Structure 1
Amino acid sequence: MSLGKEILFFFGALGAFNGFILSLYFLFFTQKKYLTNLFLGASLLALSIRIAVTVWVYFAHNLPKTYLQIGLSSCLLIGPFLYYSLKSGIQNTNSVSWKLHLAIWSLLILSIGFVFPYENYPVLWNNYFVAFIFLQWFLYFFFSGFENRILFQKVMQNFNNSSPSEKWFAMVFLGNTSIFLFYFLGLIRFPFISCITGALAFTFILYLIILILLYRKRTDDLFVFNIQKDKKLNEEEAVIVAQKLEKIMTEKALYKNPNLSLRDLSEEINIPSYQLSQFLNNNLKKNFTTFVNEFRINNACEIITSNDKLTLESVGYDVGFNSKSTFFAAFKKHTGTTPLNYQIQALQS
């Protein structure tokens, strides 16, 4: 092995080893067990396995096919783990749907690996499975970027005024995307690029992450948004968000959509969903459901007052509630009386 190859092997193997160590840190040794850290640690572990196999294959062509299968299979978990790391950190969601999602992929990996082992079906793996793996990998990165595009745009346009957590998640996404890009270019045999380039990119990005963690005295503000629950938007930002909300809710009547979500509304006013959540909870002192229901109830009161031919249940559906009981409960909470009593009072006045 030439000196140049020895250097490549050293840095590639070092990256895989340190990636494994850093994955253990995120999985087991962070002071607070944020869900986003667990997903990031799992993603680093899957990447480290892929990098280790890449390095060994590049310098030892007679590597057993089982190791090749493990390396390729690990790629099917990199995308999902990154997707949920960003989702849980940026959108601050703890949905348990990820358990079923990852269980399906794990079962698929084990089933295909058992029925069609690489050793017996190398052509199938090299011609078809590899294409599927890279397509799946790309799709998860695409959806990760698309769902969080507002945040990433903000970081690119105004890096200096972005928060540490915004920069952190943008860097995590960009780093993972760079690794995928190098691997993909190596796969299609782009000039002067091979899969070992992806391994070296991983090593570089890994040390950048380590430097950031070592540089900062505290890291909690990196991993999730809104750790300080009482933190408010400043007065100028709050006024802008309030004006945008009032305009969009009035002009488009978004509240009439029974499936309206925080993300849908944040995209309409072009701010990150975590920032909208922070504004509602800390500046307005109300959650998303209460905020939207107020518009629905106000509209329902207008309809009840002006039209006594509609049934109260139909009014609830018209303004965006998906059930009679939900409408009646929200109406009484907001007005202090039932829709029927409100209707009677309106007819008597």
Structure 2
Amino acid sequence: MISSQLLFLFSALGAVNGIFLACYLFSRRSQRLTNCMLGALLLAISVRTVKSTFLYFNRDLAVEFIQLGISACLFIGPLTYLYVHSHLADLAQRSIGRYWHWHLLLPALVVGLGAVFSYSEYPNIWRHCMSVIHIYWLGYLLLAGRQLWQARVLSRQTILLHSVYFSSCLILLAYATTQFTSYIVGALSFTFSMHVTVLTYFLQTEAKKDKYQNRKLTEEDASAILHSLNQAMRDQQLYLNPNLSLALLAKKVGNLQTTVSQVINDNLGKSFNLYINEFRIQHAKDLLVSESHLNMELVAERSGFNSNSTFFAAFKKITGQTPASYRAAHSEIM
């Protein structure tokens, strides 16, 4: 009896924590789309896990609840892919694209059809759908894995990203092999991966907090470094180099890379990429007005951007409008 209660507790624990974490992510404002993708993914897996847990302990579970769990499973694959895609887009400071909604169209359509072809009336169809759903889920995991492989990013910024992706892989493997193990393994795998993911997230957060704790700069030192940075950027136009890195910038001003990063993050409240892109966008704004014959590709290239998509995304993020609308508005003034 006690072992059964413990099994129920550990099976449901991941789902409950997943729902609370999803609500937390939905409430955050920074990188809102990426957080919403992760929140929606956690919510979908949580609903699926709750269904699995209750069905394991109560075979007479209401069929509507079973249908809800199966429907939620349809969203896990696309949401895993969209979270990876969105996270990588944030790192590259580019747009996720306008058509990401299409990936959720098929799951939404199936949920809508479920109102007509319900589990209670067509139980055999719903039962046989699980194999198709797992293949659908696997297809999106392969797409997401391809993007991760192409990006080849492995740093503190991507610990959570990789943890979420491999957790989705683990949960799919657990659910797809229940015929060889136990139906409850899927729920237990989510509890395990959920807590590993949360642990890595908070370890990553604490690492950021502790990064500079033993290297606090005085206000005078920080101001002097900021002055050197701004002067180097203006006089040498370092931002026009599309391959400008934090290490190269630190070398130019004669400081450690960690010190320059600390000053930009702590004193300006910006990331290195945002700091550089603000100079690039200002240069682009001048070109858009003074060199009206230049097309957008040339403006992007001459402003230090290595791709048009990065240029458009950065311009919209910093100015709140597109390069074309900015040029049009200032051409009328001129």
TM-score (norm 1): 0.58
Identity of aligned residues (%): 30
- 1:43-192 superposed matches below 5 A: 43-92=41-90, 93-111=95-113, 113-127=114-128, 129-151=129-151, 154=152, 162-186=154-178, 189-190=179-180
Contact 1:213/1:219 (<8 A) preserved: no
- For the pair shown, which has the larger CA radius of gyration, 1 or 2? 1
Return the alpha-carbon distance in structure 2 between the equivalents of residues 77 and 53 of structure 1.
15
Return the alpha-carbon distance in structure 2 between the equivalents of residues 74 and 94 of structure 1.
23
Shift of 1:54: 0.3
Return the alpha-carbon distance in structure 1 between the equivalents of residues 176 and 29 of structure 2.
36
Residues 1:232 and 2:220 are matched in the alignment: no
Shift of 1:130: 1.5
| Residue aligning to 2:185 | 197
Return the alpha-carbon distance in structure 2 between the equivalents of residues 75 and 115 of structure 1.
19
| Residue aligning to 2:20 | 21
Identify unmatched segments of 5+ residues in structure 2: 210-238, 249-272, 282-300, 311-334
| Residue aligning to 1:36 | 34
| Residue aligning to 2:305 | 286
Contact 1:79/1:136 (<8 A) preserved: yes
Shift of 1:74: 0.4
1:204 to 1:219, Cα distance in 2 relative to 1, 3 A: farther
Letter in 2 for 1:116: F
| Residue aligning to 1:330 | none
**1:208-233 residue CA offsets vs partner (Å, 9 max, x unmatched):** 2222343424879xxxxxxxxx8725
- 1:258-297 superposed matches below 5 A: 285-289=304-308
Contact 1:35/1:89 (<8 A) preserved: no
| Residue aligning to 2:199 | 211
**1:47-103 residue CA offsets vs partner (Å, 9 max, x unmatched):** 000000000000000001111111001011111111111101113333121224324
TM-score (norm 2): 0.61
Return the alpha-carbon distance in structure 1 between the equivalents of residues 174 and 198 of structure 2.
21
Return the alpha-carbon distance in structure 1 between the equivalents of residues 199 and 138 of structure 2.
28
Contact 2:159/2:200 (<8 A) preserved: no
Return the alpha-carbon distance in structure 1 between the equivalents of residues 100 and 16 of structure 2.
28
Shift of 1:290: 9.8
Contact 2:53/2:187 (<8 A) preserved: yes
Secondary structure of the equivalent of 1:70? helix
Q: CA RMSD in A?
A: 3.1
**1:232-258 residue CA offsets vs partner (Å, 9 max, x unmatched):** 2545xxxxxxxxxxxxxxxxxxxxxxx
Return the alpha-carbon distance in structure 2 between the equivalents of residues 199 and 170 of structure 1.
20
| Residue aligning to 1:244 | none
- How many residue pairs match? The answer is 226
Return the alpha-carbon distance in structure 2 between the equivalents of residues 201 and 104 of structure 1.
26
1:195 to 1:232, Cα distance in 2 relative to 1, 3 A: farther
Return the alpha-carbon distance in structure 1 between the equivalents of residues 30 and 79 of structure 2.
19
Contact 2:159/2:201 (<8 A) preserved: no
Contact 2:160/2:201 (<8 A) preserved: no
